[in-house]
Homo-oligomer: A and B are copies of this chain.
Amino acid sequence: MMETSAIIYVLDLFGVAVFAVSGSLAAGKKRMDILGVVVLGVVTALGGGTLRDVLLDSGPVFWINNTVYLLVAAVFSLLTFFAARIITFHRPALLVFDAFGLAIFTSIGAAIALNITNSPGVAILMGVMTGTAGGVIRDILSAEIPLILRKEIYATAALCGAFVYIMIDRLDLSSITCLIVSMTVTLLIRLAAIRWRFSLPVLTSNDDDFSQGGPGAA
């Protein structure tokens, strides 16, 4: 038990660090100043877990009682700011960092929600929300189309990872194994979607007037 929570802790910090990098890169692309970069990096890094804690109503959110999270988020945002002056980050860099964060936070979100509620449905939704919320906040605040809305596989990857977690949690495996397998599933699906631009069938519609905003559009 002790060991599991230690591993979750390390993974959580790793997720915070990669999302901080992705948030800082997004802020940098919008030419925000150094403190704007740090604020967007920190908010992106802590957004998913914050939503999880607020929805579960499990006391003050995680970064209030343990400021290591805040420190890691701020330090990696600052490092990214300075690194971006030396190294050129291409767009895939942000996407890959985001994919790692998505995979880690989805699995941890599902694990925590399953522990507390014992409901597979809630655990899956909480996993997807924890994994995607940081990125959604980042994209909205940096005025980009949220990754979750792109025609790429994104929420789908998280959904698969969370589902796998729920499934293998029933087997007699250690929590760590479940986390690693679930994370790997999300990460591989997402990276494959980035690399080969996979996509799922879309809701087809002949309703053309709809897509132009229709009556009442401002």
Complex CA gap A24/B204 in Å reads 12
| Contact (Cβ within 8 A) A149 B207 | no
Looking at the complex, which of A13-21, A54-62, A172-180 is the stretch in contact with chain B? A54-62
Is the interface on chain A under 10, 10 to 19, 20 to 34, or 35 or more residues? 35 or more
| Contact (Cβ within 8 A) A205 B150 | no
A50, A74, A149, A153, most chain B CB atoms within 10 A: A149
Question: Counting CB contacts under 8 A, is A188 at the interface?
Answer: no
Number of copies: 3
- 1/0 per residue, CB under 8 A from B, across A121-147: the answer is 110010011000000100011111110
Beyond A64-B117, A141-B148, whether A205 also contacts B29 by CB under 8 A is yes
Question: Counting CB contacts under 8 A, is A96 at the interface?
Answer: no
Beyond A35-B200, A211-B29, whether A205 also contacts B149 by CB under 8 A is no
- Chain B residue at minimal CB-CB distance from A200: B33
| Contact (Cβ within 8 A) B55 A50 | yes
Identify 20 new A-B residue pairs, CB closer than 8 A, beyond the known A84-B205, A91-B209: A24-B203, A31-B202, A32-B149, A33-B156, A34-B200, A36-B154, A36-B200, A42-B125, A50-B55, A54-B54, A54-B57, A55-B60, A60-B117, A70-B121, A70-B122, A92-B215, A94-B210, A143-B145, A145-B213, A149-B218
